[in-house]
Structure 1
Amino acid sequence: MDWFAFSIVIALLFVSAFFSASETALTGASRASMLRLTKQGNREAAVVSSLFAMRERMIGALLLGNNIANIGASALATGIFTAWFGEVGVLYATAVMTVLVVIFAEVLPKTIAINAPDRVALLVARPMKVMVYLLGPLLTVIEAIVRVLMKLLGIKIGANQPILSPTERLRGAVDLLHHEGGVEKHDRDMFGGLLDLRELQVSDVMVHRTEMVMINADLPPEELVAEVLATEYTRIPLWRDKPENIIGVLHAKDLLRAIRASDGDTSSIDVSTIALPPWFVPEMRPVSEQLKAFRRRKTHFALVVDEYGEVEGMVTLEDILEEIVGDISDEHDVVVAGVRAQPDGSVVVDGSVPIRDLNRAMDWHLPDEEATTVAGLVIHEARSIPERGQSFTFHGFRFRVLRRERNRITALRIVPVAREAEVEEKKPKRAGTAF
């Protein structure tokens, strides 16, 4: 009879191990992987997804089944050891069951499950679905008692909200995979750029009007054609009277067709008749919406205006795609070394370099909420337009102004510094100490 009871104890330990492994696997399994497998026709994955849908009931069944098995095994073991050794058998039973439960019913099955949560979840899915239904009535009573107790304690059910948004959790998952070596930096940056599209506005990715190439439409035709051929761009805004008055966008292909139609006589070409009408978009439009607008209109070029209707810059389809895949260069692009790493560990950066591009190139995390370019960030933090040679320390980096032209910072040297050094040097550096 004692050996029969001992066999039941062993069986209950196996049951406890099953619930422990199931708890770890089902709570650690990837919902995205299960959804993917379900779409591929995996029935076990569909069962796992259904368990995810009843998460509270599933966790209740896991905990209830595990505790019943452990308590039952301990009670039977206590009776066996008491019959064998008398009252001191209680101590023996406690020691033996503690070792058995901890090793074989907790640590071992959970370690196995945590190393392959998705695979184990698929194995235990169907038995756990059965257990959830078998323990359903008892779980209903337990849930009711728990809700009453939580209400008495003043804890609101469902009041807890995740700290991070789904987008940030996706970004964190990709960063973790990159840290573990499962995702390359380029792929991580592409995924991050895709997630950022909804958060960015057109003003964040546009080419500012000070860097735009525009041509006066009133120039003599021969001179205008020469300027078009001298530039590396295929779409060029045309202005009349003043640069802010853009009357159209000239496409180089349309100009070449007009030259061919006139048998090479450029003096007879009227660019205003072949230029496309300008398309103006607001600077606060989300980049994701602008991308859809480009696809809908089947065009690659738009002029950006502020709230007063003044031209602020231009945006192209390439500008948006570069936010995802990084810089796109062709054989006609002018290579501008905006970020230059130095042998001493510092980085020389053009003031017009966007903060996002610098972060992507150097794998840094400089904030870009208050400014778009590196020069804008320095001006924002300094609360002034620094002079050449001034240095500032913030966000874990030391910025030194190398060149300034009028009111524009054109070049800076950036050096990563320790946080302790930033705290010590923050005040004097903000005052504009040269070094």
Structure 2
Amino acid sequence: MDDLSLTALFLALICLIALSAFFSGSETALLTLNRYRLRHLADQGHQGARRARTLLERPDRLIGLILLGNNFVNIMASSLATIIALRLGGEAAIGIAAGLLTLVILIFAEVTPKTYATLHPERLAFPASLIYGPLLKLLYPIVWFVNLFTNGLLKLMGISPNDSQGTALSREELRTVVNEAGAMIPERSRSMLLGILDLEHATVQDIMIPRNEVEGIDLQDSEEEILHAIRNASYTRMPLFDGGIDNVIGVFHAKHALHVMLRQGLEKEQLKAQLRAIARAPYYVPEGTRLYQQLLNFQRGKRRVGLVVDEYGDFLGLITLTDLLEEIVGEFTTDPADSIPEIHRTEDGSLLIDGSITVRDLNRALRWDLPTGGPKTLNGLILEYLEAIPEPGTSLKLNERPIEILQTADNGVKTVKVVARAARKARALGTERGAVD
């Protein structure tokens, strides 16, 4: 070292600081790479991504190699700084040189390269992998020796370096990824992806048509009443009763019923027999069936309608394939708030909401976040909150959502009102998310 000039020493010190910056920045870049994007690029044939993925398969070796190089160049830089200080100012300058070197390494070899690597990991990680591959092979004996002790210490703490934590995302983590995707995923596609994730949480009871709203045909009615009901049916598939809704004997397609009756000349005395002939045996669905499982069941059984029953076999409601698909793609309309029959707008902008609306439909239409784990309808939610049937004019807040009760009956809440201010806020939020107005 005594034969080297100060210029050569300064140049060597600068080179060592640059190497320290490379090791620090590349370490951060490699360890902050998006594992899913890395896997995608590697599968697409990106050579840098493939090299990086190979290095990250054994992170203990990669970290050992990087720290070996980083510590070596930092110690060498410290030694050169000491020599330079002795030549320039003697022993008194060693402390000043140590302080200056610490500041230089902190700024130029730590904070700056690591910040850059965090912001643009791929720009540094992929070129660095080209160097680390051969370097790891060259220094493998030293890296192996270092890892022998570090892995031994980890095993004493009950940690195996080979048991690296998987990168699989949970459902809630995947939901967060989809929500934060921003412009990378269109709003409509993002809503559909979230709808698919929600299928595992909800059950058929959450979206079924309750029994009091089920439209069906009772064979005990007169032929004229049956004909009128079929002609004015709101649904294409209808359950067939015999003596009441609790005795379902099948499900038939209204279009098929009309075709059969037209071919037979609408002979009323044969109408009931014809309906029995075209009705398909009822398909029963337990109330606790998850929506995702029910979607698969519909697909396997080539079914479109299921009768929801409780643990005692009592008829609770109707679930259709359309209801399930709307959980994924949304309502088959342009404006959820205006299309749902339980929600009506008034002239002042307020909303009149039927108490029978399901909490899930209300959340979807107004982008609210009312709890769905308990009661399934707005009426049930209000009764659970108040623990009594309220009087008309009662005001309350559900999850900070102000509502006013307009009509009640002996058995529950019939109609509630969302005041104009809250309704405008709901519409504005829905417009921003592309759901309402």
Q: Which shows bigger deviation, 182-191 or 314-323?
A: 182-191
- Matched with 1:258 is 260
- Matched with 2:83 is 79
2:47 pairs with 1:43: yes
Give, in angstroms, the shift of residue 228 of structure 1: 1.2
1:278 aligned to which of 269, 279, 282? 282
**Aligned ranges 1:193-342 → 2 under 5 Å:** 193-269=195-271, 270-329=274-333, 335-339=339-343
Give, in angstroms, the shift of residue 18 of structure 1: 1.9
Give, in angstroms, the shift of residue 319 of structure 1: 1.0
2:133 pairs with 1:126: no
Distance 1:169 1:257, change over 3 A: same
Structure 2 portions without partners, runs of 5+? 422-437
Check conservation: 1:221, 1:268, Cα contact below 8 A.
no
**Aligned ranges 1:60-209 → 2 under 5 Å:** 60-134=64-138, 136-143=140-147, 145-146=149-150, 166-178=170-182, 182-209=184-211
Length-normalised TM-score, structure 1: 0.82
Give, in angstroms, the shift of residue 234 of structure 1: 0.3
Q: What secondary structure, in the 3-state scheme, does the structure 2 residue paired with 1:318 have?
A: helix
The letter of the residue matching 1:98 is T
2:58 pairs with 1:54: yes
- CA deviations over 1:259-313 (Å, ceiling 9, x no partner): 2321444543320111111100111111111111111122211111111111111
Q: What secondary structure, in the 3-state scheme, does the structure 1 residue paired with 2:393 have?
A: coil
Q: What secondary structure, in the 3-state scheme, does the structure 2 residue paired with 1:85 have?
A: helix
2:390 pairs with 1:400: no
Q: Which shows bigger deviation, 245-254 or 202-211?
A: 202-211
**In 2, distance between residues paired with 1:65 and 1:361?**
59
The letter of the residue matching 1:227 is A
Q: How many residues are paired up?
A: 411
**In 2, distance between residues paired with 1:415 and 1:17?**
60
**In 1, distance between residues paired with 2:169 and 2:139?**
34
Check conservation: 1:83, 1:89, Cα contact below 8 A.
no
Structure 1 portions without partners, runs of 5+? 418-435
Distance 1:253 1:393, change over 3 A: closer
Distance 1:151 1:30, change over 3 A: closer
Give, in angstroms, the shift of residue 150 of structure 1: 6.0
**In 1, distance between residues paired with 2:260 and 2:119?**
68
Give, in angstroms, the shift of residue 222 of structure 1: 4.1
Check conservation: 1:217, 1:272, Cα contact below 8 A.
no
Check conservation: 1:397, 1:416, Cα contact below 8 A.
no
Distance 1:290 1:393, change over 3 A: same
2:363 pairs with 1:349: no
Length-normalised TM-score, structure 2: 0.82
Q: Which shows bigger deviation, 242-251 or 28-37?
A: 28-37
- How much identity, in percent, do the aligned residues show? 35
Give, in angstroms, the shift of residue 237 of structure 1: 0.5
**In 1, distance between residues paired with 2:343 and 2:76?**
68
Give, in angstroms, the shift of residue 137 of structure 1: 4.5
- Matched with 1:430 is none
Give, in angstroms, the shift of residue 101 of structure 1: 1.8
2:8 aligned to which of 4, 24, 30? 4
Q: Which shows bigger deviation, 189-198 or 384-393?
A: 384-393
Distance 1:70 1:399, change over 3 A: farther
**In 1, distance between residues paired with 2:283 and 2:151?**
59
**In 1, distance between residues paired with 2:155 and 2:164?**
15
Distance 1:378 1:131, change over 3 A: farther
The letter of the residue matching 2:194 is G
Q: What secondary structure, in the 3-state scheme, does the structure 1 residue paired with 2:245 have?
A: strand
Q: What secondary structure, in the 3-state scheme, does the structure 2 residue paired with 1:244 have?
A: coil
- Matched with 1:420 is none
**In 1, distance between residues paired with 2:59 and 2:72?**
20
- Matched with 1:364 is 368
- CA deviations over 1:169-201 (Å, ceiling 9, x no partner): 1111222234xx554544332221111112222
Q: What secondary structure, in the 3-state scheme, does the structure 2 residue paired with 1:243 have?
A: coil
Check conservation: 1:398, 1:416, Cα contact below 8 A.
no
Check conservation: 1:339, 1:348, Cα contact below 8 A.
yes
